[in-house]
Amino acid sequence: MQDTPPSVPDFTQWPSFPFEGDLRVKQLDDPVPVEPPRRGEGNRECTACNAPDEAYIWVGERWRVRAMDRPTGLPMVLILESRSHLDLGDLPNLLAAELGVMTVRLERAIRSLDGVARVHVNRWGDGSAHLHMWFLARPYGRLQLRGTFLSLWDSILPPISEAQWRENLALVAAWLAEFGGRPLAEPPRIQWQAPSSLAESRAESTESVAEDEAASVIEAAEEIPEPTEAPGPTAAPVPEGTHPPTDGPKPEATPKSTDAPQSEAAPESTDVPESEESLGTGEPKSEQPQAG
């Protein structure tokens, strides 16, 4: 512990903050003079570039959309990737314009799902150099999940059902295909087996839908830790090359709550539109930051 630990910020008291009890602020490591390469940077392999279309739920000429490898706590968590190995700031005008169109399209598709109140769009990019945008669906009515802690709640809430998850993936893929491209997420299959067999079926779906290893947005963030230690150790659990999707997630480490949530308070821009509502509420402070 430190001699004079910084005080815990007010947001730890917000309804949306997932934890309670005695908390203390972690001491920061010294900054490194040179940051380690991200996935797809330097001599590190790019999971996204190596991932076959089959690892995605929808693919187009220049964009692909993938899911986690299994259901998580939120109704839907998807990642939009460019086919080209470019980072956000490097997109040529054509792709930059399409990113806007794809972002709006995907947001609508996810928001159209039953039980989804809002779709949070995030781009972190600390894990992978290959552009990947996160789309996190907030369940309707769950006011405590509003804001930037949503990515944390994804790992805290019990996973949605396999059947619901697959159905949602198929719906989103079909929605996107209305505008072109190819849907790869198959409609949910009829469960002829007993509920107890769901675990098995899950394995199948996993393979067909995506092979990500990251189980949630946050885990994806694992990457963050890696950099600190060394370019690879942390990632150990999930061979990069192995799971394309994974990266995504991890890349996303982006989403990584780690990175993002906090640092990117920036999210504001994202939420801004949404926060409108929250702004009106009585807890402006808490909501804005989070919502943002």
Interface ranges with Zn ion (CB under 5 A): 40, 46, 48-49, 85, 130
DSSP 101-147: HHHHHHHHHHHTSTTEEEEEEE---SSBSS-EEEEEEEETT-GGG-S
> Which residue, 166 or 243, is less far from Zn ion as judged by CB?
243
44 vs 111, beta carbon nearer Zn ion: 44
Which residue, 129 or 152, has its beta carbon nearer to Zn ion? 129
Please give, one letter per residue, the 3-state secondary structure of 153-195: HHHHCCCCCHHHHHHHHHHHHHHHHCCCCEECCCCCCCCCCCH
Least CB distance from residue 124 to Zn ion, whole Å?
16
- Tell me how far, at minimum, the Cβ of 251 lies from Zn ion, in Å: 9
Smallest gap, in angstroms, from Cβ of residue 107 to Zn ion?
24
- Distance CA(255)–CA(124), nearest Å, equals 5
Under 8 Å between Cβ of 208 and 70: no
Instruction: Give the containing element (helix H, strand E) for 6.
Output: none
Shortest reach from residue 125's CB to Zn ion, in Å: 12
The nearest distance, CB 222 to Zn ion, in angstroms, is: 18
Of 86 and 174, which CB lies nearer to Zn ion in the complex structure? 86
**Which residue number, 40 or 75, has a Cβ lying nearer to Zn ion?**
40
Number of C-beta neighbours around residue 266 at 10 A: 13
